Structure 1
Amino acid sequence: MAIGIIIFIIAFFGCCGAIKDNYCMLVTFSTLLILVFILQLAAGIAGYALRSQTVDFLSSELEQSMNHYNTSNGTQITKMWDTVQPEFKCCGVHNATDWVTELHTANDTVPVTCCSHIYGTIGMAECTSESENLFHTGCLDAFGDYVRSHALTIGGVGIGFAVVQLLGIVFACHLSRQFRMNYANM
């Protein structure tokens, strides 16, 4: 919500400045666009530089979230795990034994979403760490593989947004310069 409000304010300065031929508003708009661009660039660089700590942080958070699986206050966490595991064909953070350790269940039972639903298993009651159709890959590795396989697309989209922002900055600066020159000629 806060980001939406900030974007609205920045867009307001740009639109009003262009419509009213207001040099000050266009300079403010250009400055805010430059500031947003620098912040996004810094976030991208920091994200790349801290990627190893990000993996450790994500691993820790996922492990902690397992404590709240199938609890009364962990509804969203349960939905998250039950969506991620079949989607990425993974089980647990590192492997299925994470669930066995965390849930302390009899028969090494793991969430049913850790098993692929092959013919005849729709509606199966349980999945164990010994099931034939168990996903053996941990979700942290599966998600990492997904990001690595889509890194070029993610980078391309980021560069595309950066180019659009830079064009916006250049056009806003050019327009404000035109307004200033028109005021000087009056």
Structure 2
Amino acid sequence: MAGVSRCMKYSMFIFNFLFWVCGCIILGISIWIRVSGAQQGVDNSILAGVNLLIAVGAIIMILGFLGCCGAVKESRCMLMLFFVALLLILILQVTGGVLGAVYKPQVEAIFNYTLSESVHALQSTTGEYKEYQEEFQKLEKKYHCCGLQNGPEDWGENFNKKKDICQCELEKPSDVCMNYKNRYIYRKSCGELIMQQIKDHLVIIMGIAFGLAVVEILGLVFSMTLYCQIGRK
């Protein structure tokens, strides 16, 4: 009977050992951030993202462990578990990508609706959204933008009441600043910049997802090849 390829066996082990180490690093850092963040009162939305990283790190650790043990011990059971788990992750990635493409118009509509709701908060004069307005002004200064959709018009009456809203430091017409009601303000809307950043990050995420898919397919091929070789041994 044909034997098991030692090259493929130890290549599978090294690949999964590095996979396991990455999972340990992600899990350890995520737990540390989670604990320290909870002690310092970090926002729950940020902690939710950290919890997701903890889950990802744990899954990578388990997969790496199954792959390493399956390769070294020549365990068909562990290799099959590794194959099935990796296949499910790959299917979820593909499904997520397809759903993202199909529901892109709905996502954009939700984003625009969120911007509209935020505009109402900027136009409020009751003081209910005072803290939000102050934080948004800091964002405008940081990213050199004004308003969310229609520039200074998004501030409504507040624009005339507060002279520092959207105030451009250059105080002259340029690619960044423009003259509006005898005041120099930032030319671009923050909503436009936010959308551009989202698109830029999506390109990066798609690249990472494609790279992971290639690695996962190689893992599937190696594990199934090794599984079949052990069966023929």
Q: TM-score, normalised by structure 1?
A: 0.67
* 1:95 counterpart residue number: 150
Within the candidate set 88, 107, 123, 1:35 is matched to 88
Cα deviation, 1:34-85, whole Å, max 9, x if unaligned, reads: 11011111111111111111112123334445648652xx69x937x74477
Are 1:133 and 2:185 matched, yes or no? yes
Task: Supply the distance in 2 between the matched residues of 1:29 and 1:22 (Cα, whole angstroms).
Answer: 11
Moved more, 10-19 or 38-47: 10-19
Q: Who is 2:79 aligned against?
A: 26
Measure the CA separation in 2 of the matches of 1:111 and 1:8. Answer: 51
Q: Could you tell me which residue of structure 1 aligns to residue 229 of structure 2?
A: 178
- Which residues of 2 match residues 100-179 of structure 1 at below 5 A? 100-101=155-156, 105=158, 107=160, 109=162, 114-118=166-170, 130=181, 131-135=183-187, 137-146=188-197, 155-179=206-230
| Distance in 2 of aligned mates of 1:115 and 1:161 | 44
Q: Identify unmatched segments of 5+ residues in structure 2.
A: 1-53, 122-127, 172-178
> CA offsets per residue over residues 148-181 of structure 1, 9 Å max, x none?
5676655444322221221121112112222222
157-166 or 37-46, larger mean C-alpha shift: 157-166
The alignment yields a C-alpha RMSD, in angstroms, of 3.7
Match of 2:49 in 1: none
Counterparts of 2:101 and 2:163 in 1: how far apart (Å)? 34
Structure 2 residue corresponding to 1:78, chosen from 112, 135, 138: 135
Report how many aligned residue pairs link the two structures: 166
Residues 1:45 and 1:82: Cα distance change in structure 2 (over 3 Å): farther
Partner of 1:13: 66
User: What secondary structure, in the 3-state scheme, does the structure 2 residue paired with 1:133 have?
Assistant: strand
CA distance in 2, matches of 1:179, 1:65: 60
CA contact (8 A) 1:92 1:99 kept: yes
Contact residue 100 and residue 109 of structure 1 kept, 8 A: no
Gaps of 5+ in 1: 120-127
Counterpart contact for 1:59–1:93, Cα < 8 Å: no
After superposition, the Cα gap between the structure-2 partners of 1:23 and 1:146, relative to the gap in structure 1 and judged at 3 Å, is same
- The residue aligned with 2:113 is 60
**1:122-155 superposed Cα distances (whole Å, 9 cap, x missing partner):** xxxxxx97431323x3333333345556766554
- Residue 116 of structure 1 and its aligned partner are, at CA, apart by 4.3
